[in-house]
């Protein structure tokens, strides 16, 4: 399957329109709420949140995407997460990535929209309302933030790197210890800094724009990193599976990204040392 350059251009405009509609909802919610913390429901566990605004944003985004591209499939976190990813043009959507941050009124949340063809992302739009930033990329056309071209950093060693480590939903002792050991390892190298933010998609934008140099995660989903993957690639960086640096499986639930493989290979060494992937999926009885 493929789409034409004209269809790709049209899809960019559709995705931007959809992202802006959801951005307006997020900003309005944060600006008008009386309390900085929303009432929330949980999904897989007590740290996996969903709010009424996730659903509202998803409805707005899906309506816009289906109106603009009625023949494209859609996979979206809140209501269409179980649909299979085929080879035809498919929108992959996270209406609010970083729901916990959004619910607390923090800045690190965003709307993430990707167009995937043949299981490869070819278009990405990520809108960060509280940062007033919109990141965009399309295959062969470069990556941009608010219309300005962006590029990954020139960093080639971890010593000079800002590393982003996300806290997994799994809070088992095995998983927590693995995360802490990895953080300790990076700090002892030392890297310039270790950071933790609430949105996978936005973390990838930070790498794409050279604000950070390494990000990896295990246990998340296609809608968390599909848009970020094409943005990083078009910004000159690399993004790949944690067990194969030559592939990126959007359904594999694991990813590592950086400006180059000199950086990402070192990260994989550290992850392997502490069995990070296995630890994330470890379920322990209480």
* DSSP state letters, 74-141: EEETTTSTTS---SS-EEEEEEEE-HHHHHTT-S--EEEEEEEETTEEEEEEEEEGGGTEEEEEETTS
pLDDT score recorded for residue 36: 52
Task: Give yes or no for residue 230 having a pLDDT over 90.
Answer: yes
**109 and 238 together in one domain:** no
155 is catalytic: no
100 is catalytic: no
**210 and 228 together in one domain:** yes
Residue 194 lies in a domain: yes
Task: Give yes or no for residue 238 having a pLDDT over 90.
Answer: yes
87 is catalytic: no
Residue 286 lies in a domain: no
Residues 6+ positions from 6 with CB-CB distance below 8 Å:
none
- Tokens read off for 213: 């140099």
pLDDT score recorded for residue 278: 86
Instruction: Count CB atoms within 10 A of the CB of residue 156.
Output: 14
Cα(274)–Cα(178) distance, rounded to whole angstroms?
Answer: 6
Residue 248 lies in a domain: yes
**43 and 124 together in one domain:** yes
Over residues 31-42, mean pLDDT:
56
Give how many domains the chain has, as a whole number: 2
32 is catalytic: no
Cα(12)–Cα(17) distance, rounded to whole angstroms?
Answer: 9
**19 and 131 together in one domain:** yes
Cα(127)–Cα(247) distance, rounded to whole angstroms?
Answer: 26
The catalytic residue among 60, 78, 94, 108 is 94
For 130-160, the pLDDT digits (tens) are 999 999 999 999 999 999 999 999 999 999 9
**206 and 273 together in one domain:** yes
Task: Give yes or no for residue 223 having a pLDDT over 50.
Answer: yes
51 is catalytic: no
Q: Structure pTM?
A: 0.91
Chain mean pLDDT for the chain: 89
Q: Any idea what the CATH number is for the domain that residue 35 is in?
A: 3.30.540.10
Residue 241 lies in a domain: yes
**270 and 141 together in one domain:** no
pLDDT class for 52, splitting at 50, 70, 90? confident
**82 and 168 together in one domain:** no
Residue 226 burial (10 A CB sphere; 0-12, 13-18, 19+): buried
Residue 60 lies in a domain: yes
Tell which of 149, 175, 198 closes a domain.
149
Over residues 101-124, mean pLDDT:
94
Residue 190 lies in a domain: yes
Residue 63 lies in a domain: yes
Residue 261 lies in a domain: yes
Task: Give yes or no for residue 43 having a pLDDT over 60.
Answer: no
Task: Give yes or no for residue 81 having a pLDDT over 90.
Answer: no
**128 and 256 together in one domain:** no
The catalytic residue among 12, 96, 182, 232 is 96
Higher pLDDT, 185 or 77: 185
Angstrom CA distances, 119 to 84, 93, 162, 217, stand at 10, 14, 30, 20
Tell which of 105, 125, 149 closes a domain.
149
The catalytic residue among 54, 58, 60, 77 is 77
The catalytic residue among 224, 231, 232, 264 is 224
**57 and 90 together in one domain:** yes
77 is catalytic: yes
pLDDT score recorded for residue 232: 99
pLDDT score recorded for residue 172: 82
The catalytic residue among 58, 60, 78, 97 is 97
**59 and 108 together in one domain:** yes
- DSSP code, position 259: S
Cα(172)–Cα(164) distance, rounded to whole angstroms?
Answer: 21
pLDDT class for 33, splitting at 50, 70, 90? low
Residue with tokens 């693995």: 178
Task: Give yes or no for residue 19 having a pLDDT over 70.
Answer: yes
**230 and 137 together in one domain:** no
pLDDT class for 240, splitting at 50, 70, 90? very high
For 249-260, the pLDDT digits (tens) are 999 989 999 999
- Residue range(s) defining the domain that contains residue 122: 5-149
Over residues 12-31, mean pLDDT:
92
């Amino acid at each position: 399957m493929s789409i034409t350059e004209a269809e790709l251009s049209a899809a960019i405009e559709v995705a931007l329109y959809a992202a802006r509609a959801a951005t307006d909802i997020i900003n309005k919610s944060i600006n008008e709420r009386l309390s900085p913390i929303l009432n929330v429901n949980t999904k897989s566990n007590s740290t996996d949140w969903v709010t009424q605004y996730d659903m509202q944003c998803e409805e707005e985004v899906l309506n816009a995407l289906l109106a603009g591209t009625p023949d494209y499939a859609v996979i979206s976190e809140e209501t269409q997460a179980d649909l299979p990813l085929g080879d035809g043009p498919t929108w992959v959507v996270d209406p609010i990535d970083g729901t916990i941050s959004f619910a607390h009124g923090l800045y690190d949340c965003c709307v993430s929209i990707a167009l995937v063809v043949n299981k490869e992302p070819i278009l990405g739009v990520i809108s960060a309302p509280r940062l007033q930033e919109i990141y965009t990329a399309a295959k062969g056309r470069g990556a941009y933030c608010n219309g300005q071209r962006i590029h990954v950093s020139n960093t080639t060693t971890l010593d000079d790197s800002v590393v982003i480590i996300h806290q997994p939903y799994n809070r088992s002792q095995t998983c927590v210890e693995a995360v802490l050991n990895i953080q300790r390892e990076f700090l002892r190298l030392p890297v310039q800094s270790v950071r933790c933010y609430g949105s996978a998609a936005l973390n990838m934008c930070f790498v794409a724009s050279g604000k950070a140099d390494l990000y990896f995660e295990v246990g998340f989903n296609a809608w968390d990193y599909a848009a970020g993957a094409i943005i990083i690639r078009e910004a000159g960086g690399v993004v790949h599976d944690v067990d194969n640096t030559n592939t990126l499986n959007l359904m594999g639930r694991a990813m590592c990204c950086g400006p180059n493989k000199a950086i990402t290979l070192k990260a994989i060494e550290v992850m392997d040392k502490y069995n990070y992937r296995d630890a994330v999926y470890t379920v322990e009885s209480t």
